[in-house]
Chains A and B, each alone.
Chain A
Amino acid sequence: MIARTVGFEWDAFGSSFAPLLEGAVMTVVLTVVVMLLSVPIGVGLALLRLSRHKVVRAIATGWVEVWRATPVLLQLFWVFYVLPALTGITLSPFLVAIVAFTGHVSAFLSETFRAGIASIRPQQRQAALSLGMTPAQSFIVVVGPQAWWRILPAFANTWVSLFKDTALVSTIAVADISYIGLQLRQETFMTLEVLTAMALMYLALGYPQAKLADWLERRFGVKE
Chain B
Amino acid sequence: MFDVFFDYRGLFIEGLLVTLQLNAIVVVLSVAGGALIGVARHYGGKIVRVVLGIPVDILRSIPLLVVLIWVFFASPMVFGTRYIDPFVAAVIGLSLTQGAYISEIVRGGLASVRSTQTRAGLALGMTRTQVVTRVVAPQALIRMLPPIGSQVAIGIKDSTLASVIAVPELFRQSQIVIGDSMQPFVVLTTLMVFYFVLVMIVVRLIDMLYTRVAARGAS
- Which residues from chain A sit less than 8 Å from chain B, CB to CB? 1-4, 65-66, 69-75, 77-78, 81-82, 85-86, 164-168, 170-171, 178, 181-182, 185, 191-192, 195-196, 198-199, 202-203, 206-207, 209-211, 223-224
Q: A71-B158, A191-B74, A195-B70 are in contact. Are A77 and B188 (CB under 8 A)?
A: yes
A202-B61 contact in complex given A70-B157, A73-B161, A82-B184, C-beta closer than 8 Å = yes
Residue B160 lies at the interface, judged by CB distance under 8 Å to chain A = yes
Return the contact of B62 from the options A73, A168, A182, A202 (Cβ within 8 A).
A202
Q: In this complex, which of A1, A71, A191 has the most chain B Cβ atoms within 10 angstroms of its Cβ?
A: A71
Contact B200 A164 (CB under 8 A): no
The number of chain B residues touching the other chain, given as a range, is 35 or more
Closest to B154 in A: A161
B199 close to A (CB within 8 Å):
yes
With CB as the reference atom, state the residue of chain A lying closest to B195: A70
Q: Knowing that A69-B196, A199-B66 touch, tell me 15 more A-B residue pairs with CB under 8 angstroms.
A: A65-B200, A66-B192, A71-B157, A71-B171, A72-B157, A86-B185, A178-B63, A192-B77, A195-B69, A195-B73, A195-B74, A198-B69, A199-B67, A206-B63, A210-B60
Cβ-defined partner of B188 (8 Å) among A1, A72, A81, A191: A81
- Check: B205 CB closer than 8 A to any chain A CB: no
Query: What residues of B have a CB within 8 angstroms of the CB of A74 in the complex?
Result: 160, 171, 188, 191-192, 195
| A85-B184 Cα distance, complex, nearest whole Å | 9
A185 to B191, CA, bound (A): 31
A sample of 11 cross-chain residue pairs with beta-carbon separation below 8 angstroms, ordered by A number, consists of A69-B200, A70-B157, A71-B157, A77-B175, A182-B69, A195-B73, A198-B70, A199-B70, A202-B61, A206-B61, A207-B61
Contact partners of A171 in chain B: CB under 8 A:
164
- Given the complex of chains A and B, what is the CA–CA distance between A220 and B209 in angstroms? 29
Nearest A residue (CB) for B193: A70
**Smallest CB–CB gap between B136 and chain A, Å?**
15
| Closest B residue by C-beta to A77 | B188
A207→B171 contact, CB < 8 A = no
